[in-house]
Every structure is written in C-alpha cells, then in structure tokens.
Structure 1
Amino acid sequence: MTTRHTRLGAALTLAIGLGLLVLLAVLSLSVGITYIAPGDVLGALFQPDPLDINHILVNTTRLSRMTVAIAVGACLAVAGGLMQAVTRNPLASPGLFGINAGAVFAIVLLAPLFGSPSLTQFMMLAFAGAAVAGTLVYCIGMLGSRSPFRIVLAGAAVTALFASFTQALLVISQDGLDSILFWMAGSVAGREMQAVVALYPYLLIGFAASFLLARHINILVTGEEIARGLGQNTFVIRSLLSIIIILLAGGAVSLAGNISFIGLIVPHIVRRLLPGDFRWLLPGYAIFGALLLLLADIVARIVLIPQEVPIGVVTALLGAPFFIHMARKGMRNG
C-alpha cells in the first residue's frame, strides 16, 4: 500500500499531467497553417458560429485530429505498459506484437478488393489485420508455454513475416504504394469524427478492462512463482492482458497508422514519476501518452509550415535515442 503522502504526490502528478493535456489540446486546435486564437477556439467549441470560417475549421478538422492524437497516444502508452508487464521486458512495445506489420499487410492485401476504399474501410482493414497478427503472436508465444520471452521471439518473427509479405505484394503491384504510405509513416490528420467514434467503444472497453485488472497486474509483475504462490492463475491473467493489448494497439494503429516509440518511452517516464502500483500507473500511461503524442503532432505541424512532417517521424526522432540509451543500459547491467 502506498502512504498518504505518496498518494497525494501521485494524484498531484496526474492532475498536473491532465492540466498540461488540456492546455496542449487548446494549442492543438489553435496551430496550423492558419493560426486561430485560443479565445476563438473556445468560442468554436461552446458557441459555434456556422458562418465563421475559423469555427468551421476547428469543429470539422482540428477537433477530430486532436481527439485522434489523444486516443492513440493513450492507447499506445497503456498497451506498451501492459506489454512490458506481460513480457517483463523493458524494451517491449506494441510493435513487438506484430500489430503494426499486420495492419499494413491487411491494407495492402485487401484494400484493392474494395476498389476505392473509404477512410473508414481502411481503418477497419487495419484493425482486423492488427487483431489477426496480435492473436497469432499470442497463440505462438503463450499457448503451451508460460515463458514471457517466448512471446517476444514470436512477435519478432511474426513482424518480420508480415513485413516480408507486404514488401512482396508491393513489388508485384506498386499501385497500392501511395495508399499505404500514410499508414507506414503514421498520421492523425484527415480523420472523420464518425470513423473515430466508431472505434471508441472498443478502446474504452480496453481501458476499462485494464483498470479492472490493475491489482492482478501488481501481483503478476512480482514474478511467476510469487504470483502462483498467491493463488493467481497467471496464464489467464496474461491471456486477458494480451487481448487488451491487441484491442488497444490494434485500435491505435487503425486510427493513425504506424506510430512508433510512444508505447516504449511513456511507460518508462511514468514509472519514474508515479508509484509502482498499476492503479496509478495505468491512468498515468494514458495521460502522458496522450500528452506526448499531442505534443509530437503540434511539432509536426509547425516545424515546416506550410508542409507537415509525418508524426511517426517526430516520435521516431524522440524515441530512437531513448531506445539506444535503454539498450546500452541493459548491456552494461548484463
């Protein structure tokens, strides 16, 4: 149990993070090729004028973009934190589950069957591919063995397999290349609010289920033998967490494509700021994941105005040095 002082400190950290998220959300609605003052942004949200071009821009384009960035950042961070708990590997992230590779492969393979697929159809294909890849990794890595390292190897193998299939399909038919560049680079732009809302129930279910399992995760991370000694069915808990990871990461990939490193960086940062209790860590992952991706999206929009840098590039620039640092630290400790 955390002390009262620790709980107050953790609550204050979450409150500060939430406050920063609100400020960044307003800034996200303000910046772009056309700058809109925060006062006009609040007016567009609470007293929209259907004839005001700035209000139209906020409510039809930037609001959905901001919503996607928050949802995707939260999903990737929580999925990454859960995956590091399941595998007990500090370098684990949603991409390790083959989810990104599966989503892209599904789009390349099946999108031509729809002729000119809509954005919603692209998202559904990506979600289905991510779910299939994640399930395949789970079946190979977890069934018949309870070793957390087996699922890491299974994820790497499935990722390489789907990436190879995708490259082969693109070599055969390069017509599909332009349509998947968006998913390969990652972006939160161009989303229709209806398409976003359609996926929200799945994401909310994933968040709710992870919070309900927080106490069990606290036991699981102490080690396999201790968890079993305390009466926990570790296989069932790992299975449920794997399903939640697929749900959250698959939904994130279907919304924004291949955005890397959020699921790797944020859990490490949050574990330095909050107690090691998943009842605190999970909301921390969600808040700070949303915060980091929203910040990356703002940077992506303003660094090369009037052009935009793919948000996946920004997160990679942030995450690659961190990954190298973690790898070197692991080798030194080894």
Structure 2
Amino acid sequence: MITPNQDGKQSRNGSLLFLFSASGLLLVIGVICSLKWGQSQVSWHTLYEAITYKGHEKAHLYIQTLRLPRALMACIVGIQLALAGLLTQLTTKNPLASPHIFGINAGAAFAVVLGLVAVPTFTNMGSILFAFIGAALGALLVWSLTGTGHKQYVRLALAGITIHFLLSSLTEGLILFNQQATDSMIFWLVGSLSQVAWKEIWLILPFFISGLLMFTFMLPSFRLLLVDDEIAAGLGQRIAIVRAVSMLLVIVLAGSAVALCGPIGFICLIVPHIARALVGSNLAVLAPLTALLGGALLVYADFISRFVAFPYESPVGIITSAIGAPFFIYLARKQGGAKVQ
C-alpha cells in the first residue's frame, strides 16, 4: 500500500525527472540551432556529416572549426558562470550577489586588459593567469573592506559595487593607452564568443572539469552556507574554511571564463534564481539544474546575438544584459538584498 508520503515523493521525483529532461533537451536544441543557423546556411544533411566527421568540404570545416567550438564554449562558460553565481550568493547570503557585482569579474577584466596593453606577445594562457590574479585581488580587496559583525554582508555589497566601478574605470583608462586594439577590447569587454576556436576549448577544459569535480566534492560542505554562521560554528563546523574554498572555486570558474570570453554579465545572477524558483534550495538538485540552465541560456543568447545586427554579429553580453537588467531590477524591488533562504 502506497502511503501519502510515498505518493508525494514519487510525484516530486517525477517532476524533477521531467524538469531535468526538459532542461537537457532545451540545451541540446540550442546547440543544434547554434550549429545550423548563422551567417551561412547549411542543410541538415551537411550538419550531420559535419558533426559525425564524415565530410571534409568547406561547409563541413566551417561547422567543425567555427560553430562547434563556439557552441561548446557557450555551454561550458554558461555552466561555469551560473555555478559561480550560485556559490557567490550562498557565500555572501545575498540573492543579488554575483562575481560581476562583487569585484571578481572586474578584477579579472582589468588584469587581462593590463596584460594586453603591457605585454606585446600576450597569449591566451597568459590571459587566464592574469585573470586569476585579477579576480583573486579583486575579491580580496572587497573582503578586506567588509570587516566582521552582523552588518558584514551589507558592507560586502557596498564594497563590491565600489570596487567593481573602480576597476572598471581603471580598465577603461588602460584602453586609452592602446588605441590600435580599442575596438576589439571593447567588443571583448562586453562579452563575446565570436573568436572562439578549439584551442580555447582545450585551454578552458581543465579548469571546467576540475571546477565541477571540486564543486561536487565540496557539495555537502557547501550546505553549511545555507545556515547562519553562528549555527554552523555551534555544530563544530569550520565555516570560514568552507567559505574560503567557495570563493576560490568562484575565482577558478569565473576567472577562466572571463579570460577567454570577457565579463559576460547577468548569467551569474539570474540563472540561480530561476533554478531556485523551480526546485527550491536543496543543493543536490539546485546545483545541477543551475548548471544546465546556465549552459542553455548562454547558448541561446549567443545564437540570438548573431541576428541582432545581421549580417554583423553583436557581443553576447548585450543579449544577456538585455535579459538580466530587468530581472535584476525585479529582484532588487522584491527582495531588497534579503538573505538567501
């Protein structure tokens, strides 16, 4: 005999299965659309031959060397930014928090632009290294200004926004010293996937895999971030270490994404909220759904960016900002910086 509790559990499991299946299907459809449509039209037969590597004509190479790595990068970066946003909101206990707002993205962008201006032979690996250093320094600078006490998270938000605008202003100042690359830098600073190739995929893949493994391994500990620090400390848990590991993971995920694709805005902010509205705050379910939705959102945003000013391309950051800015205003009015539940 099935009890009401068992019936409710089965119903919830069925809903979760449908939700994850629909999210996965949405992501796959987005990748297929990204591969098929763009400045150059290809047939379904040509697309099939290209992704199965059964053809080597110009159209096949176009898909294999340009569209396929771009779609994969959009998926990877979307997942990284969404998970980084989820961790930032948990760590700061602020639903309006994200690496973009709290100095991490701005620090990474500043360091990368500094490297581009100062080092003539600046490589992609160098940009990743500089991005990590800039993200870490930005985060440390924000945290050093917050202090301790019951108003720590309020000061954290104010310090983060201040440092973000400071670093953004310094970045814009650096661009003035490199007039030859101003257009490409501005395009990158908005967030762009247009220059992605397979070498960028191989560069970001180790950080992507290690970040996911680290996130999975630390998932039980990250549940402590859902409760008050006093309660976690009373249970004998080292909440300071968990928070430090969390911010380190945010730097790895967001820093590598910013280094290769620029500071794409609002993915970190809106995706965790959408996932939380669908499944609640159970991290075992919330984290994978956040990753799926993050990948899907950036894939579709990149696809749409190709047609905004067709036949020219627009930075994907314009699309994510157009989606995220109204959402941010809605959250600010509704929650006003309330703590994550």
Rounded to whole Å, the distance in 1 between the matches of 2:338 and 2:108 is 35
Rounded to whole Å, the distance in 2 between the matches of 1:254 and 1:332 is 29
More moved, 63-72 vs 271-280: 271-280
**Residues 88 and 99 of structure 2 are in contact (CA less than 8 Å); yes or no, is this contact kept in structure 1?**
yes
**Residues 117 and 178 of structure 2 are in contact (CA less than 8 Å); yes or no, is this contact kept in structure 1?**
no
TM-score (norm 1): 0.90
**Aligned residue in 1 for 2:312:** 307
1:113 Cα deviation after fit: 3.4
Counterpart of 1:302 in structure 2: which amino acid? Answer: F
**Residues 103 and 126 of structure 1 are in contact (CA less than 8 Å); yes or no, is this contact kept in structure 2?**
yes
Counterpart of 2:216 in structure 1: which amino acid? Answer: F
Rounded to whole Å, the distance in 2 between the matches of 1:332 and 1:237 is 22
Alignment of 1:78-97 (within 5 A): 78-97=83-102
1:30 Cα deviation after fit: 0.5
Q: Which 5+ residue runs of structure 1 have no aligned equivalent?
A: none
1:24 aligns with 2:2: no
**Residues 74 and 298 of structure 2 are in contact (CA less than 8 Å); yes or no, is this contact kept in structure 1?**
yes
Rounded to whole Å, the distance in 2 between the matches of 1:277 and 1:333 is 19
Tell me the SS of whatever aligns to 1:3: helix
Q: Matched residue pairs, number?
A: 332
Q: 1:138 to 1:41 in 2, by over 3 A?
A: farther
Counterpart of 1:273 in structure 2: which amino acid? Answer: L
**Aligned residue in 2 for 1:161:** 166
More moved, 244-253 vs 154-163: 154-163
1:97 Cα deviation after fit: 2.8
Rounded to whole Å, the distance in 1 between the matches of 2:28 and 2:255 is 26
Rounded to whole Å, the distance in 2 between the matches of 1:255 and 1:175 is 20
Tell me the SS of whatever aligns to 1:94: coil
**Identity across the alignment (%):** 35
Q: Deviations over 1:298-322 (max 9, x none)?
A: 1111233211121100111101111
1:317 aligns with 2:322: yes
1:129 aligns with 2:134: yes
**Aligned residue in 2 for 1:220:** 225
Alignment of 1:1-334 (within 5 A): 3-50=9-56, 52-115=57-120, 117-119=122-124, 121-141=126-146, 147-331=152-336
Counterpart of 1:46 in structure 2: which amino acid? Answer: T
Rounded to whole Å, the distance in 1 between the matches of 2:125 and 2:302 is 21
TM-score (norm 2): 0.88
Counterpart of 2:188 in structure 1: which amino acid? Answer: W
Tell me the SS of whatever aligns to 1:36: coil
1:139 Cα deviation after fit: 4.9
Q: 1:72 to 1:330 in 2, by over 3 A?
A: same
**Residues 119 and 191 of structure 1 are in contact (CA less than 8 Å); yes or no, is this contact kept in structure 2?**
no
**Residues 79 and 248 of structure 1 are in contact (CA less than 8 Å); yes or no, is this contact kept in structure 2?**
yes
1:124 Cα deviation after fit: 4.4
**Residues 104 and 183 of structure 1 are in contact (CA less than 8 Å); yes or no, is this contact kept in structure 2?**
no
Q: Which 5+ residue runs of structure 2 have no aligned equivalent?
A: none
Rounded to whole Å, the distance in 1 between the matches of 2:220 and 2:123 is 41
1:79 Cα deviation after fit: 0.6
Rounded to whole Å, the distance in 2 between the matches of 1:242 and 1:49 is 45
Rounded to whole Å, the distance in 1 between the matches of 2:336 and 2:159 is 22
Q: 1:100 to 1:275 in 2, by over 3 A?
A: closer
More moved, 194-203 vs 114-123: 114-123
Q: Deviations over 1:28-86 (max 9, x none)?
A: 11111112233322221113322x11110111000110011001111111111111111
1:93 Cα deviation after fit: 1.1
Counterpart of 1:39 in structure 2: which amino acid? Answer: H
